[in-house]
Structure formats: structure tokens, C-alpha cells
A = this chain, B = another copy of it.
Amino acid sequence: MTNHRIALIPGDGIGAEVLPPARRVLDVLGRRHGFGLTYTSYDWSCERYLRDGAMMPDDGLDLLRDKDAILLGAVGYPGVPDHVSLWGLLIPIRRAFRQYVNLRPIRVFDGVESPVRGARPEVVDFVVVRENVEGEYSEVGGRMNRGFADEMAVQEAVFTRAGVTRVLDHAFELATRRGGRLTSATKSNGIVHTMPFWDELVAERAARFPRVSWEQEHIDALAAKFVLAPGSFDVVVASNLFGDILSDLAAAVAGSIGIAPAANLNPERDFPSMFEPVHGSAPDIAGKGIANPLGAIWSAAMMLDHLGHPDAAEDITDAIAALLAGTAVRTRDLGGTATTAEFTEKLIELL
């Protein structure tokens, strides 16, 4: 029996409340589809930072290196600056393990009302492919003349041919397997060095994927189009920052950030990939047992898909769809009163 070694990092806030449900679901599917899962949990978090001065131990990345995948809850806590917590845990993992593709599927489920009128279940089904390790999120830059009138900060966005090409190819391949359409997010009218380069590479790679019809849109117009015509997308490919913005916006358009999953992929499988719900640590509802576990559970489904169990992954997304369409049980973010435990129980029943 295949066995997969999974690292669990609950992290902060509701992170610790949504991972156990995901683990229960995973175990059900392991038994059904005949694979094993061994878990190792790590308490890396803002709490640890406040106690020990670091989000993870010095050899943290080495501890993860031999795992097959990482399932993460959420990172972030009031009192710990975000750039400390994230650059001390999430971002180093993405980078050390060359998880250069961030994949975020967007679906409107039957039974979930979207805040956007045009976002009906039949029409909205797309994927945002985000470049995940370079671009606007860069360590290059700094500050000078601190505290003086001539103080300034600079931040370098760095786009490499290799880095852009590999994520574009991933997106074009995905579009080939899906609906055959790709939208590239750009801003070559305002960002005049990196974005025209991005556009050139899109045109160059597109030539190798003749079955994909593609277009590009400036990020401002594209954000507007997510609201005006959310049904018009198949695969959307974007830089690190633009992908971050578009995927959160798309999750909102789809009806709940509490459901949206994300995969941080190292497609070559040289290193473990990481799976995490899009929602954050939500300190306002943490500890109350009312968090929506579906983001973590759908992320677990993406993990199974990556580990070679697409059927098991589909069982999960089918059960999520059935839960939302067929029952009135739902957590508070979806307009219901169910607890995390009740919602999970119902899902396991449907599995």
C-alpha cells in the first residue's frame, strides 16, 4: 500500500480548527481508495514566535524536506507583524521548495449565493494560476534616510525568463486540458519594464500551445471583469501580486472565502508541495469552533490529486457540492449556524 508522509502545520487562529476535519476526511478516503497517510505535526506559529523568537526552528525546512506534502492551516496573529509571520514561515516554504505555481480553483457551488448577480453556478468554473516565488514579492530593496524628510523606500520587482516561462507553460498546459482558453493579467501600460516583458513571454509561449486561445487584460480592467462577467474565464495566469489580488477577489465573487483552497506546487516533485485554505487565521472567530472547514478540506483534495489520487480528490469535491446543494447545514460565514464539527460530520456522512 502506498504511504504518503504528510506534514501538518496548523499555524494560528482557526488553522488549528480546520486541519483536524481535513485529516478525518483524508483518512476516510485512504481507507476507501487503498492508500496510507502518516502525519507529523509542527507547532510553527506566531505563538511559537512570541515564545521562542522564531516562527519555525532553524532546521524547519529540513524537517519538511522528506515529506510528500504539507498541509497548512493559517498564519497570522494580532501583535505579530504580518511581514514577520509570513516571511518567517509561509514564504520561505514556498521558495525553498520551489513551489512556483499557486493554483486556485474558483467555483460557484449550487446552494451558495454569490454576492455578484452574474456569478451563477453553471457559468463560473475557472482557475487562477499565480506565479508564486518571484515578481513583486522580492527581498530586494530597502530604506534610506530613516526618519528624515528625504526618507524613501524602494522595492524591486524581479521577473526572470525562466521563472515566468515555467509558470506560463503550466498555465497553458492546464488550459489545454480544460476549456482551451487563457487570460493573462498584465499592466504593461503602467508598469513599463517588467510587464511588457511578461506580455512578450506570454505571446512566445502561446505559440507552442496552438489549441489554447488566449488574450491579455490589464489588471484594473480584469478585476472589473471578474465582477461584470465572472463566467468568461477558464484559466487566468498572473504574476505573484496580481495573482494574489485576483484569487482573493475571485473567491469573494464565488461566494465564500471560507471554501476556497490553494495549492503551492512544485510540479517537478523535487520538493514537497504545500496546500492551504485561502482564508486567514481569523482571530475574531478563533477558538469558537465555528470556522468553515471546507477551505482546508478542498485543499486536502488538491493534495490527493497531486499525490496521484484524482478519484479520491473528486470524491471530496463531489461531497462538498452535495453538502452545499442538498442540505441546509452550513457554518456562519455561509449564513448558517452549524459548528465546524457538525458541518464536518454531515460531509463525512455524504462521502
- Seen from chain A, the residues whose Cβ lies within 8 Å of a Cβ on chain B are 76, 81-83, 85-87, 91, 113, 115-118, 136-137, 139-143, 145, 148-162, 187-197, 218-221, 223-225, 227-228, 240-241, 244-245, 247-249, 251-253, 257
Q: Which residues of B contact A143 (CB under 8 A)?
A: 193, 197
Are B157 and A192 in contact, with the CB atoms below 8 A?
no
Tell me the interface secondary structure of chain A in the complex.
mixed
Quick one: given A158-B154, A227-B253, A249-B223, are A81 and B188 in contact (CB under 8 Å)?
A: yes
Are B193 and A142 in contact, with the CB atoms below 8 A?
yes
Are B189 and A86 in contact, with the CB atoms below 8 A?
yes
Quick one: given A87-B192, A116-B115, A253-B227, are A157 and B160 in contact (CB under 8 Å)?
A: no
A96 to chain B, nearest CB (A): 17
Q: Which residues of B contact A240 (CB under 8 A)?
A: 190
Contact of A137 among B76, B141, B191 (CB under 8 A): B191
Q: Which residues of B contact A244 (CB under 8 A)?
A: 187, 190, 219-220
Q: Which residues of B contact A148 (CB under 8 A)?
A: 161
Q: What's the Cα separation between A145 and B161 when bound, in Å?
A: 10
Are A152 and B141 in contact, with the CB atoms below 8 A?
no
What is the chain B residue whose CB lies nearest that of A198? Answer: B153
Q: What's the Cα separation between A159 and B221 when bound, in Å?
A: 25
Can you identify 11 A-B contacts, CB atoms within 8 angstroms?
A81-B188, A115-B227, A116-B117, A141-B156, A148-B161, A154-B156, A155-B156, A155-B192, A155-B193, A221-B248, A249-B249
Contact of A154 among B153, B193, B196 (CB under 8 A): B193
Are B81 and A196 in contact, with the CB atoms below 8 A?
yes
Quick one: given A81-B188, A81-B196, A191-B137, are A245 and B219 in contact (CB under 8 Å)?
A: yes
Contact of A153 among B76, B197, B228 (CB under 8 A): B197
Q: What's the Cα separation between A152 and B224 when bound, in Å?
A: 30
Q: What's the Cα separation between A219 and B246 when bound, in Å?
A: 10
Contact of A248 among B140, B158, B224, B248 (CB under 8 A): B224
From A136, A159, A190, residue with most partner B Cβ within 10 Å = A190
Q: Which residues of B contact A156 (CB under 8 A)?
A: 141, 154-157
What is the chain B residue whose CB lies nearest that of A197? Answer: B153
Are B161 and A150 in contact, with the CB atoms below 8 A?
yes
With A115-B117, A153-B194, A154-B159 given, can you name 17 additional A-B contacts, CB distance below 8 Å?
A82-B218, A83-B188, A83-B190, A86-B190, A115-B227, A116-B116, A116-B117, A117-B117, A136-B190, A153-B159, A153-B193, A154-B193, A155-B156, A155-B194, A223-B252, A224-B249, A227-B252
